Amino acid sequence: MAQGGIALEALGYLIDIEKNGGANLNNRKQMNFKPGLRVILGDMKVKPFSDVEGWIDRADEAYMGAKHPDRPEPDFLVQINTLRENLLVLRFWIGTVSRMASSRAPIATPQFWRSSLGAINKPFHRGVGP
């Protein structure tokens, strides 16, 4: 969970610096986690799933629970499903950037990512894997 959160933090910061001139940085020139997630989603023309605000809340709760020992960690299934969504967002963003870099790369189309992710795009349930 922590590594995915770190990757999302870094990506949000990079996008904000490169494309927004640091408009979403706080007074210490840092970016909070939730605004960083919104910056990443704002950089995508197509979103990887429809409930983006729900994902932002889940991602924040799971990452902060893993990062800070004084915060409660969510249920294991919430954590693993949130990790799945976090990785999906990272992969989806990479695909959209690749698509912009090479319009002939079929691997970078949103349709490819949605159809090829198969099991990773389905949430886990108690006793049942993807």
For residue 63, give its domain range: 2-121
In tens digits, the chain (130 residues) has pLDDT values of 788 899 999 999 999 999 999 999 999 999 999 999 999 999 998 898 899 999 999 999 999 998 888 998 888 898 999 999 999 999 999 888 776 655 554 444 555 445 444 444 555 555 554 4
Q: Is 44 inside a domain boundary?
A: yes
Q: Is the pTM of this model over 0.95?
A: no
DSSP annotation string for 58-117:
HHHHHHHHHH-TTSPPPPHHHHHHHHHHHHHHHHHHHHHHHHHH-TT-GGGSHHHHHHH-
Helix axes 52-67, 2-20, angle to 10 degrees: 120
Q: Is 8 inside a domain boundary?
A: yes
Q: Is 80 inside a domain boundary?
A: yes
How many separate domains does the chain show? 1
Q: Which residue has the tokens 């949605």?
A: 114
Whole-number Å distance between alpha carbons of 15 and 22: 9
Q: Is 19 inside a domain boundary?
A: yes
Q: Is 14 inside a domain boundary?
A: yes
Amino acid symbol at 105: A
Q: Is 127 inside a domain boundary?
A: no
